[in-house]
Amino acid sequence: MYSENKEVYFEELFADISSVLEDLCQSGFHTVHDSTLEELREKGETAARCGMQYLSGLLLALQGELFQNRHKISRDKNTDSICAEYYTELVESIELGREKTAYDKGKNYYSENRG
């Protein structure tokens, strides 16, 4: 699953998730493309395999809400609010993940280059 360096793998995963969220930001919560829903599901499953259960749960919950929202005739502001909440939690979670990855990268660099 991981490339030679797990931090590089995580950086790529976070970049991919950010890209999906950018697509979602451009399309909005009401006109989500099938490919965006599929990517959210895939990234959620990948995050779960990497042990990032919270991130996975957010991705899959957002994907589920967006999927359900596409099939509603009337718009529910509560659903929009829930989607926005998941979205902001995801952005924050990704930023924290990027920070941790950077710290781990630094720790590994200095641990390997001691002595």
**Are the C-beta atoms of 20 and 39 separated by less than 8 Å?**
yes
Judged against a pLDDT cut of 80, whether residue 8 lies above it is answered with yes
**What percent of the chain has pLDDT above 70?**
89
Whether 40 is covered by a domain: the verdict is yes
Decide if 14 is inside a domain: yes
Q: What is the pLDDT, as a whole number, of residue 5?
A: 86
Torsion on CA atoms 59, 65, 66, 67, rounded to nearest 10: 110
Overall domain count for the chain: 1
| Alpha carbon distance 90, 61 (integer Å) | 11
pLDDT tens column, 18-68? 999 999 988 888 888 899 999 999 999 999 999 999 999 999 999 999 998
Q: Is residue 71 part of a domain?
A: yes
**Is 6:40 a contact under the CB 8 Å cutoff?**
no
Domain presence at residue 115: no
Report if residue 31 sits inside a domain. yes
Give residue 115's pLDDT: 52
114 three-state secondary structure: coil
Q: How far apart are CA 35 and CA 32, in angstroms?
A: 8
Could you tell me the residue range of the domain that residue 71 belongs to?
6-108
The distance of Cα 111 from the centroid of its chain, to the nearest Å, equals: 29
Which has more pLDDT, 14 or 25? 14
